[in-house]
């Protein structure tokens, strides 16, 4: 089983065949090991900070070589070993039936009481989700290749027309709600038909996104407006990455001025630790952080009312983020985080409302873009 | 010297006597001999007749002790029947005491007619006091005191039937003791054809039932024997210190004896409810009792049974205890006064007795050369006459005796119960899961040899919360009272049981499902009083007791650690086995590989894995040679099923757990022990002629346990209740591993059990997968 996804197969059918081969291979290895009298082991690449490598050249996080042995005959691993095989079986049947299931549905698919006991195969969905993430890295197949999707979380509107599973969708005519970005946005699901936009503005939350949409910001500035509900799910990140790579659109992010906002930017830009193996596909090294900046308190002359004091956890988190290898050598980010810490408070994007209802859409963002004032 | 002594002491004595008091004559008129009997009438508590309940027990105890002693001396396997009749069955329910007739019948050698009055009618008359020989009775007080107590409280004489010669009529004698003269008065003296007295057979439904199958006082079974009946005022109540407890404990310490007990129809009004500990165990096996009542002659079960109120403690082993030798006193155990007395007696016995010969004849461990050394040391010629030894010389001799380096007294005078017999006894009476016993080498206190044995029973149906039960024996006689004054009890408290994974409050006996048994065998057991209730606290004795207890404790510790390991192992194994069914199924669904094959392969690995993991387990993390507690000598383990399952080394498929009833499990373990060496196996009574055991408590012709162990296919008898008598002699050969043996012993299918979260849950046929 190769560690990294090999994306040579182009058609969906080919990719399914490859995934199927990997699933069968996994079970077959276990069976053959067992029948030859050895203890079965599944090698699962480690999903942890310790096993991520900072690829400075490409500006993304990559997964390291470390692998964990998942043993059946280990008290702590026996159950997850069983669960891994249960989900493998589910995935096989999904591919055969050519259907996809949500993470929650996968939990139910594998759920039953173990024969002769009162124990259930999965205690809750978290257990199931973790196994699926393990399977992705173990098989080297993406979640969508395993025929699994997550719930929709993310909205898009703007000067673009796409085709989603055959339906043409004009993102200029999405009303107040916007187009819900699906979990799977691979080219065989979504194709870009026509795009006039010059850039993408990604905001952190739906509330901010609504403000921009109502002010028709995307019409005035000819852009695409997206939102990821906090940390953007994979569908949103993948779509942003495709817009960036395939259509060459720059991605600007408007996030809160707090460690969480910084972290979201870090994930969008470099990739996340738990999904480091997908960074190549998901990370957008060119993404830019336009705000909110720590200096905006002075620059925009905000009042004391918008200050939210940093708690111990925030301080700790901020220092951690400052220590990330991709931020460590970055003077701008070091200054930004230092400023945040010396301010002693955080600010939300909504704090700009105190200036004016549309200050953020009419003044703040346009000014930053014009001044090319951002962090990358 | 003797003259000098008299000359010195006499004037002084006369001086005191003739102290100028006017009342001297009047006093002298009142001064007279006190008969021993009279003394004990007034001080009956000294003999164990303090209260009606204890009086009843003491009477039973003395009679049973005498019966067992007599049988053993005559090399007869004892069969003792105790009948207590309530003579006032209509008394008010609140009556605290009643009149009882206690009858003890034995199959012993009987008593020669002219001795009857002496034996039963005089205090301090007996064969046991003057000798140094291990026996139950010591002083010769017991049975006559009981008769006397009966006479005082009811006015009824003692009734004795005795048949000393086979084929001749038995004597029927009734005796009343004259306390003033310490002599018995015979009121009835006739001959009877009926022995044992036949009326007992028709006494209760239980006796009728047993008599119908020739198991109760059958005339043909008693070629000789004695029956003693004493009427007395007493109180029958179960519980601690009861006749029931005494007989149960006696049965434990005397596995070679068969004891039948017919209790009175009802108990005296209870003062407190107190269920005897061992009784609970007996209750649990009651279903077996139903089978014993089946048509005659049923095979005798190895466990205690109850038939309509009649309790039968069956014989556990067929060997009599080794015959004990009478020994001469050891020089170190002699006191000066005794030495003087012996010298005096020797002179009268054999005029012209030389000291040289006297020393060799009358003491143990004095050889010819030691005798002459003694003569030299006290500066007399080796031809010096005993008569010439004056007080000063005797005192010198005494000193030399204490200082001389002499070998310890001979120990062939001691008859240990023996490890095998201890285990058989405990197994019979206590329902536990682990039994261990140890028998120490003889040691000496005050020049008297003694030997300590200990046994413990742990777990099973014993109460977990209570402090442990200590059962004490001296020369096979249970000691029921004054526990805390007893040396053995102190030894238990002083032993550090925490070393063996037991709970023990500071300075107290351990807490837990534990029965501790201590037996002291000696030619003279140092009791704290004449009622023989507690062993005096000699350092030498206590030390030996502790060593014996530690030996048992170590075995228990090993077992407990092993059990913990097994429990852990079974939990681990359970976790693995729980999931492998699912895994096999998934693999089958994905790859089409045969699920059964994968399952079996995984199961085998799970077993191997858990077995190996436990091999490495050790206190210091070192890999040690697996020590199976069942391999130790003197250990019986009854697998309880719950939480414990046998390590199935064959690795056969399917959950190996089988639910066994206690009795089945006990039989199983016994059977499995038998494959190694039937030395450790309690056997059923059969028609075999009694054998004497060799001195060490092992069957004389048998090889040592270790040797027999190497002969794996030795036939062994299974205590198989279901077996028909005709099948009984056909010994069953037990194949190597216990599980097949269980199938052989119990052909009907048993529900399979799985251990889930520490509970046994029945499963139909393993995980329903295929």
Of residues B523 and A258, the one with the higher pLDDT is A258
Kindly provide the residue ranges of all beta strands, DSSP E only, lying in chain A, ordered along the sequence: 41-45, 52-55, 60-63, 67-71, 101-102, 148-149, 155-158, 160-164, 167-170, 179-180, 190-195, 199-203, 223-227, 251-254, 288-291, 308-309, 345-346
Judgement on whether residues A282 and A160 belong to the same structural domain of the protein: yes
pLDDT at B453: 92
B768 at A interface, C-beta within 8 A: yes
Rg (CA), chain B: 31
Of residues B476 and B183, the one with the higher pLDDT is B476
pLDDT at B124: 59
Q: Are B213 and B247 in contact (CB under 8 A)?
A: no
B606 at A interface, C-beta within 8 A: yes
CA distance B762 to chain A (A): 9
User: B578 vs A117: CB contact, 8 Å cut-off?
Assistant: yes
pLDDT at A158: 93
Judgement on whether residues A239 and A299 belong to the same structural domain of the protein: yes
Determine the residue of chain A that is closest to B609 in CA distance. A73
User: Around Cβ B272, how many Cβ atoms within 10 Å?
Assistant: 7
Residue B759 has pLDDT above 60, yes or no: no
Judgement on whether residues A178 and A206 belong to the same structural domain of the protein: yes
Residue A224 has pLDDT above 90, yes or no: yes
Residue B666 has pLDDT above 50, yes or no: no
User: B601 vs A34: CB contact, 8 Å cut-off?
Assistant: yes
Judgement on whether residues A188 and A316 belong to the same structural domain of the protein: yes
Q: Which of A108, A179, A252, A359 is catalytic?
A: A108
Average pLDDT over every residue of A18-40: 90
B591 at A interface, C-beta within 8 A: yes
Determine the residue of chain B that is closest to A22 in CA distance. B590
Cα B328 vs. chain centroid, distance in angstroms? Answer: 26
Structure tokens at B494: 């002083």
Determine the residue of chain A that is closest to B766 in CA distance. A116
Residues facing B515 on adjacent strands: B457, B469
d(CA A17, CA A8): 12
CA B47-B52-B55 angle, 5° bins: 35
Residues with Cβ within 8 Å of residue B287, at least 6 apart in sequence: none
pLDDT at A89: 92
pLDDT at B452: 93
User: A117 vs B581: CB contact, 8 Å cut-off?
Assistant: no
pLDDT at A262: 92
pLDDT at B358: 87
Which chain B residues are closer than 8 Å to A116 by Cβ?
578, 581, 754, 763, 766-768
B766 at A interface, C-beta within 8 A: yes
Residue A5: inside a domain:
no
Residue A288: inside a domain:
yes
Residues with Cβ within 8 Å of residue B526, at least 6 apart in sequence: B445, B446, B535, B536, B538, B541
Which chain B residues are closer than 8 Å to A40 by Cβ?
602
Domains and CATH numbers, chain B: 40-315 (3.30.565.10), 331-403 (1.10.8.50), 419-553 (3.30.230.10)
Determine the residue of chain A that is closest to B602 in CA distance. A34
Please report which confidence band the pLDDT of residue B123 belongs to, taking 50, 70 and 90 as the band edges.
Answer: low
Average pLDDT over every residue of B211-232: 86
User: B582 vs A115: CB contact, 8 Å cut-off?
Assistant: yes
Determine the residue of chain A that is closest to B762 in CA distance. A116
Nearest by CB to A88, which of B580, B586, B763?
Answer: B586
pLDDT at A202: 94
CA distance A163 to chain B (A): 35
Judgement on whether residues A117 and A175 belong to the same structural domain of the protein: no
| Coil, strand or helix at B736 | coil
User: B581 vs A119: CB contact, 8 Å cut-off?
Assistant: no
d(CA A27, CA B737): 37
Residue A280: inside a domain:
yes
Q: Which residues of A touch B (CB under 8 A)?
A: 23-24, 26-28, 30-31, 34-35, 37, 39-40, 72-73, 75, 78-79, 81-82, 85-86, 88-89, 92-93, 114-119, 121
Residue B730 has pLDDT above 70, yes or no: no
CA distance A114 to chain B (A): 7
Residue A240: inside a domain:
yes
Nearest by CB to B579, which of A26, A31, A82?
Answer: A82
Half-sphere exposure of A292 (CA within 13 A, CB side): 30
Average pLDDT over every residue of B734-756: 39
Domain that holds residue A82: 12-149
Residue A376: inside a domain:
no
Domain boundary among A104, A132, A149: A149
Average pLDDT over every residue of B495-509: 88
CA distance A41 to chain B (A): 12
Residue A255 has pLDDT above 90, yes or no: yes
Per cent of chain A over pLDDT 90 is 37
Which chain B residues are closer than 8 Å to A30 by Cβ?
583, 587
Total count of domains within chain A: 2
Partner A, chain B 716-755, Cβ-Cβ below 8 Å: 754
3-state SS string for B35-81 = CHHHHHHHCHHHHCCCCHHHHHHHHHHHHHHHHHHHHHHCCCCCEEE
User: Around Cβ B36, how many Cβ atoms within 10 Å?
Assistant: 17
Q: Are B138 and B522 in contact (CB under 8 A)?
A: no
Domain boundary among A149, A179, A209: A149
Nearest by CB to B575, which of A75, A85, A121?
Answer: A75
Which chain B residues are closer than 8 Å to A86 by Cβ?
582, 586
The mean-pLDDT minimum among B148-152, B450-454, B550-554, B659-663 falls in: B659-663
Q: Which of B118-132, B478-492, B521-535 has the highest mean pLDDT?
A: B478-492
User: A85 vs B587: CB contact, 8 Å cut-off?
Assistant: yes
User: B575 vs A116: CB contact, 8 Å cut-off?
Assistant: no
Q: Are B592 and B586 in contact (CB under 8 A)?
A: no
User: B602 vs A30: CB contact, 8 Å cut-off?
Assistant: no
Kindly provide the residue ranges of all beta strands, DSSP E only, lying in B267-364, ordered along the sequence: 305-307, 310-313, 319-320
| Coil, strand or helix at B452 | strand
Residue A1: inside a domain:
no
B32 at A interface, C-beta within 8 A: no
Q: Are B451 and B445 in contact (CB under 8 A)?
A: no
Maximum Cα–Cα distance across chain B:
122
B760 at A interface, C-beta within 8 A: no
Judgement on whether residues A183 and A79 belong to the same structural domain of the protein: no
Domain boundary among A124, A149, A174: A149
Which chain A residues are closer than 8 Å to B769 by Cβ?
115
ipTM over 0.85: no
Residue A333: inside a domain:
yes
User: B605 vs A89: CB contact, 8 Å cut-off?
Assistant: no
Report DSSP state, residue B201: G
Judgement on whether residues A101 and A121 belong to the same structural domain of the protein: yes
Residues with Cβ within 8 Å of residue B290, at least 6 apart in sequence: none
Partner A, chain B 609-668, Cβ-Cβ below 8 Å: 609
pLDDT at B691: 54
Average pLDDT over every residue of B577-602: 87
B763 at A interface, C-beta within 8 A: yes
Nearest by CB to B766, which of A39, A78, A116?
Answer: A116
Judgement on whether residues A219 and A343 belong to the same structural domain of the protein: yes
Determine the residue of chain A that is closest to B607 in CA distance. A73
Residue A3: inside a domain:
no
Judgement on whether residues A168 and A300 belong to the same structural domain of the protein: yes
Which chain B residues are closer than 8 Å to A23 by Cβ?
590
Nearest by CB to A115, which of B605, B606, B768?
Answer: B768
User: B767 vs A88: CB contact, 8 Å cut-off?
Assistant: no
d(CA B671, CA B735): 9
d(CA A52, CA A63): 5
Annotation says A297 is catalytic: no
Residue A157 has pLDDT above 90, yes or no: yes
Which chain B residues are closer than 8 Å to A79 by Cβ?
575, 579
Residues with Cβ within 8 Å of residue A10, at least 6 apart in sequence: none
Please report which confidence band the pLDDT of residue A160 belongs to, taking 50, 70 and 90 as the band edges.
Answer: very high
Average pLDDT over every residue of B412-431: 82
* Most A-contacting residue of B590, B608, B654, B754 (CB-CB within 10 A), to test interface: B590
d(CA A264, CA A245): 20
B596 at A interface, C-beta within 8 A: no
* Most B-contacting residue of A115, A127, A131 (CB-CB within 10 A), to test interface: A115
Phi/psi of residue B320, nearest 5 degrees: -70, 155
Determine the residue of chain A that is closest to B764 in CA distance. A116
CATH number of the domain that A65 lies in? 1.10.10.10
Classify residue B280 as left (phi > 0), alpha (psi -120 to 50) or beta.
Answer: alpha
Residue B227 has pLDDT above 50, yes or no: yes
Average pLDDT over every residue of B237-248: 86
Judgement on whether residues A205 and A281 belong to the same structural domain of the protein: yes
Judgement on whether residues A142 and A245 belong to the same structural domain of the protein: no
d(CA A123, CA B683): 54
User: B767 vs A115: CB contact, 8 Å cut-off?
Assistant: yes
pLDDT at B36: 67
Structure tokens at B63: 């009679």
pLDDT at B125: 62
Please report which confidence band the pLDDT of residue B659 belongs to, taking 50, 70 and 90 as the band edges.
Answer: very low
Average pLDDT over every residue of B242-258: 88
Which chain B residues are closer than 8 Å to A27 by Cβ?
586-587, 590-591, 593
Cα B715 vs. chain centroid, distance in angstroms? Answer: 28
pLDDT at A259: 92
Of residues A81 and B410, the one with the higher pLDDT is A81
Average pLDDT over every residue of B307-330: 81
Judgement on whether residues A179 and A122 belong to the same structural domain of the protein: no
pLDDT at B212: 83
* Interface A:B, Cβ pairs < 8 A: 93
Q: Are B573 and B755 in contact (CB under 8 A)?
A: no
Residue A8 has pLDDT above 80, yes or no: no
CA distance B78 to chain A (A): 54
B626-654 residue pLDDT tens: 445 555 667 777 754 333 333 333 333 33
Residue A225 has pLDDT above 90, yes or no: yes
Nearest by CB to B582, which of A37, A40, A82?
Answer: A82
């Amino acid at each position: 089983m190769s560690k990294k996804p090999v994306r040579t197969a182009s058609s969906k059918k080919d990719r399914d065949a490859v995934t199927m081969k990997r699933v069968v291979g996994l079970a077959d290895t276990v069976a053959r090991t067992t029948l030859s009298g050895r203890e079965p082991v599944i090698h699962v690449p480690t999903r942890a900070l310790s096993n991520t490598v900072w690829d400075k050249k490409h500006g993304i996080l990559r997964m390291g070589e470390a692998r964990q042995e998942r043993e059946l005959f280990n008290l702590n691993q026996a159950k997850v070993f069983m669960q891994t095989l249960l989900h493998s079986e589910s995935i096989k049947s999904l591919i055969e039936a050519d259907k996809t299931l949500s993470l929650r549905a996968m939990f139910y698919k594998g759920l039953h009481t173990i024969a002769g006991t009162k124990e259930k195969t999965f205690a809750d969905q978290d257990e199931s989700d973790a196994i699926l993430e393990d399977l992705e890295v173990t098989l080297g197949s993406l979640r969508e290749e395993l025929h699994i999707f997550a719930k929709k979380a993310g909205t898009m509107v703007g000067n673009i027309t796409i085709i989603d599973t055959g339906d043409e969708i004009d993102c200029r005519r999405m009303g107040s709600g916007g187009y819900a970005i699906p979990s799977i946005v691979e080219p065989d699901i979504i194709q870009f038909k026509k795009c006039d936009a010059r850039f993408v503005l990604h905001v952190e939350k739906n509330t901010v996104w609504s403000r921009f949409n109502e002010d028709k910001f995307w019409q005035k500035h000819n852009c695409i407006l997206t939102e990821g509900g906090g940390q953007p799910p994979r569908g949103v990140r993948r779509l942003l990455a495709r817009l960036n790579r395939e259509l060459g659109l720059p991605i600007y992010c408007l996030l809160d001025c707090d460690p969480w906002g910084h972290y979201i930017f870090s994930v969008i830009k470099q990739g996340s630790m738990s999904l480091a193996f997908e960074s190549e596909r998901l990370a957008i090294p060119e993404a830019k952080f336009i705000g909110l900046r720590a200096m905006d308190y002075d620059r925009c002359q905000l009042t004391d009312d918008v200050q939210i004091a940093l708690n111990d956890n925030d301080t700790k988190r901020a220092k951690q983020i400052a220590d990330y290898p991709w931020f460590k050598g970055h003077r701008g980010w070091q200054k930004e985080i230092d400023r945040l810490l010396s301010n002693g408070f955080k600010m939300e994007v909504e704090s700009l409302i105190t200036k004016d209802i549309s200050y953020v859409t009419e003044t703040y963002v346009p000014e930053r873009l014009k001044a090319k004032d951002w962090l990358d | 010297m003797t003259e000098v002594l008299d000359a010195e002491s006499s004037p002084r004595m006369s001086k005191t006597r003739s102290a100028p008091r006017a009342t001297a004559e009047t006093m002298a008129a009142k001064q007279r001999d006190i008969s021993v009997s009279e003394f004990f009438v007034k001080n009956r508590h000294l003999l164990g007749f303090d209260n009606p309940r204890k009086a009843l027990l003491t009477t039973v105890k003395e009679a049973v002790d005498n019966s067992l002693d007599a049988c053993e001396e005559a090399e007869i396997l004892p069969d003792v029947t105790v009948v207590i009749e309530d003579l006032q069955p209509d008394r008010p329910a609140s009556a605290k005491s009643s009149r009882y007739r206690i009858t003890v019948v034995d199959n012993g050698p009987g008593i020669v007619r002219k001795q009857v009055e002496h034996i039963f009618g005089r205090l301090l008359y007996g064969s046991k006091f003057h000798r140094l020989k291990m026996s139950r009775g010591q002083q010769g007080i017991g049975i006559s005191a009981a008769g006397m107590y009966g006479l005082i409280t009811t006015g009824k004489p003692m009734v004795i039937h005795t048949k000393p010669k086979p084929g001749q009529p038995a004597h029927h004698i009734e005796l009343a003791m004259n306390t003033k003269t310490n002599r018995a008065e015979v009121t009835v003296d006739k001959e009877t054809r009926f022995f044992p007295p036949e009326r007992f057979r028709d006494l209760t439904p239980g006796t009728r039932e047993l008599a119908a199958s020739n198991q109760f006082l059958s005339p043909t079974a008693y070629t000789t024997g004695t029956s003693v009946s004493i009427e007395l005022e007493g109180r029958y109540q179960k519980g601690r210190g009861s006749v029931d407890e005494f007989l149960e404990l006696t049965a434990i310490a005397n596995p070679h004896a068969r004891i039948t007990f017919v209790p009175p129809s009802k108990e005296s009004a209870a003062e407190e409810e107190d269920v005897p500990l061992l009784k609970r165990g007996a209750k649990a096996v009651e279903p077996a009792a139903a089978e014993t009542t089946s048509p005659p002659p049923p095979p005798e079960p190895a466990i205690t049974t109850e038939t309509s109120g009649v309790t039968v403690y069956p014989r556990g082993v067929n060997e009599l205890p080794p015959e004990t030798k009478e020994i001469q006193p050891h020089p170190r155990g002699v006191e000066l006064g005794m030495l003087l007395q012996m010298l005096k007696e020797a002179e009268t016995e054999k005029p012209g007795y030389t000291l040289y010969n006297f020393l060799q004849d009358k003491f143990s461990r004095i050889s010819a050369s030691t005798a002459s050394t003694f003569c030299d040391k006290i500066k007399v010629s080796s031809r010096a006459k005993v008569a010439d030894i004056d007080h000063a010389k005797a005192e010198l001799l005494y000193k030399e005796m204490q200082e001389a380096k002499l070998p310890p007294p001979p120990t062939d005078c001691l008859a240990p119960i023996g490890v095998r017999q201890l285990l058989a006894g405990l197994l019979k009476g206590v329902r536990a899961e682990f039994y261990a016993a140890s028998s120490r080498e003889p040691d000496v206190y005050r020049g008297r040899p003694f030997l300590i044995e200990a046994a413990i029973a742990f777990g099973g149906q014993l109460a977990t919360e209570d402090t442990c039960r200590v059962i004490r024996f001296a020369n096979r006689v249970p000691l029921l009272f004054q526990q805390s004054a007893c040396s053995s009890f102190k030894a238990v408290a002083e032993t550090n049981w925490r070393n063996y994974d037991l709970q023990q409050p500071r300075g107290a006996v351990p807490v837990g499902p534990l029965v501790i048994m201590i037996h002291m065998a000696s030619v003279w057991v140092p009791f704290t009083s004449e009622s023989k209730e507690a062993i005096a606290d000699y350092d030498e004795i206590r030390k030996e007791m502790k060593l014996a207890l530690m030996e048992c404790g170590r075995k228990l510790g090993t077992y407990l650690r092993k059990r913990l390991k097994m429990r852990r192992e079974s939990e681990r194994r359970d976790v693995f086995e729980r999931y492998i069914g699912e895994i096999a199924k998934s693999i089958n669904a994905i790859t089409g590989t045969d699920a059964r094959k994968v399952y079996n392969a995984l199961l085998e690995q799970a077993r191997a894995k858990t077995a190996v993991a436990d091999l490495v387990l050790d206190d210091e993390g070192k890999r040690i040679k697996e020590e199976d507690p069942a391999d130790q000598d003197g250990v019986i383990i009854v697998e309880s099923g719950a939480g414990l399952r046998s390590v199935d080394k064959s690795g056969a498929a399917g959950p190996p757990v089988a639910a066994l009833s206690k009795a089945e499990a006990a039989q199983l373990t016994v059977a499995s022990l038998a494959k190694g060496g039937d030395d450790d196996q309690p056997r059923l009574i059969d028609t075999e002629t009694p054998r004497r055991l060799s001195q060490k408590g092992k069957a004389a012709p048998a090889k040592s346990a270790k040797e027999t162990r190497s002969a794996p296919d030795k036939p062994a008898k299974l205590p198989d209740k279901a077996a028909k008598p005709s099948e009984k002699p056909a010994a069953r050969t037990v194949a190597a591993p216990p599980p097949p043996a269980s199938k052989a012993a119990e052909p009907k299918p048993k529900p399979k059990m799985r251990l889930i979260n520490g509970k046994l849950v029945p499963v139909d046929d393993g995980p329903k997968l295929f």
